[in-house]
Amino acid sequence: MTPKKEAIIIKLKEKAKEDWPNDYSTQEYWINEQIEAYDYMRTIDDNSIKKQAERDWPLDFSTQKYWYEEQIEAKKRLE
C-alpha cells in the first residue's frame, strides 16, 4: 500500500467516525466502498472529467466514480 493510500484511508476512517459515531458496520461498509472507488479512479488516465470529479468531491471516491461514469456515458451518447 502506498503512503498516499494509507493517508486517504486514515482520512476516510476519521470521516466515517464523525458521520456515524456508533455505527461500526456502516463505517466499515462506507470505508470499503470508498477504497474500492479510490482504486478504480486510480486506474483512469488523467482527463478533464476525472479532474473535475476529483475537484468537486476530493474525499468522496464513490461519488467521483459515479459522476465520472455518468459523464463518460453521456459523452458517448452525444457523439
If we measure between CA atoms, which residue out of 3, 12, 4, 1 comes closest to residue 57? Answer: 12
pLDDT at 1: 84
Percentages (nearest 5) of helix, strand, coil residues in the chain? 80, 0, 20
Dump pLDDT digits (tens) for 19-32: 999 999 999 999 99
Domain coordinates in residue numbering, the chain: 3-78
The reported pLDDT for the residue numbered 28 is: 98
